[in-house]
Amino acid sequence: MGEKNLLTKLGLITVIVGLGVWQAYPPKQKIKPGIDLGGGHSLLFEIDDTGVPDIQKPTLATDVMAILKQRVDPGNTRNLVWRPIGWNRLEIQMPRPSEEMKKPREAFEKARNDVTNTNISEAQVRSALSLPPDQRQTAFNELALFLSEIFFKSSKKICSFTGGFNADGSLSLIFSGTV
């Protein structure tokens, strides 16, 4: 009788373990590693309690946590761990984003850098304006050639700059070009 009972128990254990493995497969998609295994950040904030009445101090960290949760992650979708520590400290744990989540951020960073690289800074214009008049137009022509290469994919200058300071000290630039 004991042997039959043992086989039933082993069979039941095998079925339960098999169901658990089946539910967790593939593990990279179903199981999110915590901050200890997957990496991330743990931030510890101390709340300034200057001017807070003594009666509110015991719940200060919890109250601040509730307000910050509502503002930072109202839908509770960012997998943040909020933990009040004592009455004036708050710990927030943020897991490292997955590779899938990093791709849109990297695309945004690349697009922003591409736009930034095509800008002519005010310092470049002021530098050209500070040159003697005979060298100034050459500097503007170099900036115009830069813009032609960036925007029009042309190695010849198809736009031009002229510029100077107005009577009130403001900067005046004239850009002309053909496409």
* pLDDT tens digits, 98-116: 778 788 889 889 888 877 7
- Res 150 pLDDT > 70: no
Is the model's pLDDT at 179 over the cut of 50?
no
Q: What is the pLDDT of residues 22-35, one digit of tens each?
A: 888 887 776 777 77
- Letter for the amino acid at 78? R
Q: What is the pLDDT of residues 114-133, one digit of tens each?
A: 777 777 777 887 888 888 87
Report the chain's mean pLDDT, rounded to a whole number.
80
Q: What is the pLDDT of residue 47?
A: 93
- SS3 label, residue 38: helix
pLDDT > 50? residue 94: yes
Degrees, nearest 5: CA angle 55-56-62: 145
Residue 173 above 70 pLDDT?
A: no
Give residue limits of the domains in the chain: 32-108, 121-177
First to last CA, the chain: 93
Round to whole Å and give the CA distance between 172 and 160.
14
When pLDDT is averaged across residues 31-51 and rounded to a whole number, the result is 85
The pLDDT assigned to 139 comes to 81
Spatial distance between the Cα atoms of 136 and 177, rounded to a whole number of angstroms: 19
pTM: 0.47
SS3 71: helix
Residues 6+ positions from 94 with CB-CB distance below 8 Å: 35, 40, 41, 42, 43, 78, 79, 80
Helices (H) and strands (E) in the chain, counts: 7, 5
